Amino acid sequence: MVRVNQLPAFAGESLQAYRLVNSKFPPIAMFDDVADADEFEVLYEIQALTNPRLKNEVGQLELIARSEIPFGIPGCSYATAPFTHVNPAGSRFSDGRFGVLYLADSMETALAEVQHHQTLYWSNVHNLNYERFVFRGLSCAFVDKAMKDATAISITDPIYDPDDYTHSHGFGNAIRQARCPGLRYHSVRRQGSHCWALMTPRPVLSIVQTAHYEMIWNRQITSVNQISEA
């Protein structure tokens, strides 16, 4: 496996990337209602007295240091949510013990990535013959300073295996242990494209909603449509 310190690092360019989130998950208001960590702590303590659902809403705050949360940016909740609501099943670069903010170089790439994973998930739901899934498109501005360029690694490397994440989990852990803020990597679901895996939300400058998209399930995903403008 290629060592993290052997990969090229980015100097610090401002970039635009894209993401989809299921529309059933609303933004977490508390992250967007405050300007800094101190304000967050005060508001959290006040709301905890009257809101029994607060922990479910904000997720596992112990998984991220307050200093890593980019309070005050547009869409702070979108940037932070992947790190407090972690999928225990993991993802390409996480074994389920920590969160990763995944971004794509275009909305088309984001759609291809999400369509693949939705197909895997819903194929295992018994007797699901028809369903409609709606996603919120997001546009993310961030700075790539000190991130690593894993597109220098061949797409044939085991970290890009389309189904087995064993090697990519090890690579993701190495990236995190090196305190690297993220990496650019080849998209496995859309040839010639690339994605980003941010290990912290700190580099994010803004995340704003764009259009809505739907995926129609009829024993498989049969169509993907944009259903609203930005």
Write a three-state SS string for the chain.
CCCHHHCCECCCCEEEEEEEEECCCCCCHHHHCCCCHHHHHHHHHHHHCCCCCHHHHHCCHHHCCHHHCCCCCCCHHHHHHHHHCCCCCCECCECCCCCCEEEECCHHHHHHHHHHHHHHHHCCCCCCCCEEEEEEEEEEEEECCCCEEHHHCCCCCHHHCCCCCHHHHHHHHHHHHCCCCEEEEECCCCCCCEEEEECCCCCEEEEEEEEEEEEEECCCEEEEEECCCC
182-186 and 148-149 strand pairing:
parallel
- What phi, psi does 12 have (nearest 5°)? 130, 55
Domain ranges of the chain: 4-25+73-226
Among residues 156, 166, 172, 14, which one has the least CA distance to residue 102?
A: 172
Which amino acid belongs to residue 75? G
Which residues, listed in sequence order, are joined to residue 52 by a DSSP beta bridge? none
Handedness of CA 142, 145, 169, 105 (dihedral sign): positive
Q: What percent of the chain clears pLDDT 90, i.e. is strictly above it?
A: 87
pLDDT reading at 24 higher than 90: no
At residue 148, the pLDDT reads 98
At residue 3, the pLDDT reads 84
- The mean pLDDT of 130-141, rounded to a whole number, is 96
At residue 162, the pLDDT reads 96
pLDDT reading at 127 higher than 90: no
At residue 230, the pLDDT reads 65
* Cα 39 to Cα 31: distance, rounded to the nearest angstrom: 10
What's the token pair of residue 145?
A: 């300073």
